[in-house]
Structure 1
């Protein structure tokens, strides 16, 4: 059972490190508002994974994955939200907005934790991932519900550690990213990537 769990951890670690909407949203928040808001965004994303995990254990995620109508509604909402974040980043670059706010300055509008949570909850591919792949990785020596719950917790932990480390890496290069030209370029790249992920989410099938 231990070997099965370690193998599952390896698979989840690889999947966690593959760039996707969560990383793009984290990048936008960290570069726009600073590393603190970047970590808050990671917290929201992690909370979203836990919500999906609870829905999976209860069997509700399988209903979403199997329902074409429900899947389409969630994926279009998620695609629209990612596109909105992308357009917002492009707008910031057009205005020449620089990186994190100066000390004492008002924080940018929006709640980074909520941004991470909403972007994650509106990604129906997680429901497909949890209901389709996780059961095949669950250790055979445990009940299906217990095995799934452990893997969801492991995936949430890996995601939190990976994205938090990524945010701190961006923070170490803060001086570079706060250069006006670099800031505008990163806003544009991040905006385009977010819009691209929005289109990808909108056009994918369960």
Structure 2
């Protein structure tokens, strides 16, 4: 029980640290409204659940040990992050101000897919699960069960934090939706995503 409480505390601290998913959630909530912000949240958590399942089934270990698979997944994730960053800068130039009420269904689905793709294609998440979670395993006989519980707990912490973030952002949405502020958000988001993409591309296999 003590180990699990420590795991929850460490997970909360890790989730709060800004990352690509946090950046995308804030951008979606500010630019396109609460609904699309929540779609981005569910996409992020779905990506985490993919890695949870893979870790439980042992697939993550194969990815981490295989230089080829690790590199393929790494570059897919890096290219996608850089692509999202570039699109954020293009949005400034076009002056796109999305309206939640008129957002087409296809566009709404993309909010889910972009963060799902970002997390699911990030091998660093697989490395995290395989290097962080084992420290809290208390019984080898129940390792898979404990792995699953911790993975689901991490996903729950992630979704609660990101949903809270969406609602916090929504409370000051009036100010955040000013054109100058939106351009600043697009610019900062684009820069952050491109930096994360470059860092991921340069990540070495553990």
Q: Please give the range of the TM-score, normalised by the shorter of the 2 chains.
A: over 0.9
Q: Give the SS at the match of 2:175.
A: helix
Instruction: Check the 8 A contact 2:25/2:37 in 1, yes or no.
Output: yes
Corresponding residue for 2:154?
155
> TM-score under structure 2 normalisation?
0.93
Deviation of 1:32 after TM superposition, in Å, equals 2.6
**Structure 1 spans left out of the alignment, 5+ residues:** none
Deviations 1:21-57 (A, max 9, x none): 1111212222232111111111011111111111101
Task: Indicate the RMSD between aligned Cα atoms, in angstroms.
Answer: 1.7
> TM-score under structure 1 normalisation?
0.93
**Structure 2 spans left out of the alignment, 5+ residues:** none
- Larger mean CA deviation between 175-184 and 141-150 belongs to 141-150
Q: Give the SS at the match of 1:89.
A: helix
Alignment of 1:16-35 (within 5 A): 16-35=15-34
User: Is 1:188 matched with 2:187?
Assistant: yes
Which contiguous aligned blocks of 4+ residues in structure 1 show a shift greater than 6 angstroms? none
Alignment of 1:26-175 (within 5 A): 26-98=25-97, 100-101=98-99, 103-104=101-102, 106=104, 109=107, 111-140=110-139, 143-175=142-174
Deviations 1:165-195 (A, max 9, x none): 1111111110111111111111111111111
Q: Give the SS at the match of 2:101.
A: coil
Deviation of 1:139 after TM superposition, in Å, equals 3.4
Q: Quick one: structure 1 residues 108 and 35, their matched pair in 2 at CA, closer, same or farther if it must change by over 3 Å?
A: farther
Deviation of 1:107 after TM superposition, in Å, equals 6.4
Deviation of 1:97 after TM superposition, in Å, equals 2.3
CA distance in 1, matches of 2:111, 2:79: 17
Instruction: Check the 8 A contact 1:42/1:160 in 2, yes or no.
Output: yes
- Larger mean CA deviation between 74-83 and 26-35 belongs to 26-35
Corresponding residue for 1:197?
196
CA distance in 1, matches of 2:100, 2:47: 30
Q: Quick one: structure 1 residues 80 and 104, their matched pair in 2 at CA, closer, same or farther if it must change by over 3 Å?
A: closer
Q: Quick one: structure 1 residues 148 and 102, their matched pair in 2 at CA, closer, same or farther if it must change by over 3 Å?
A: closer
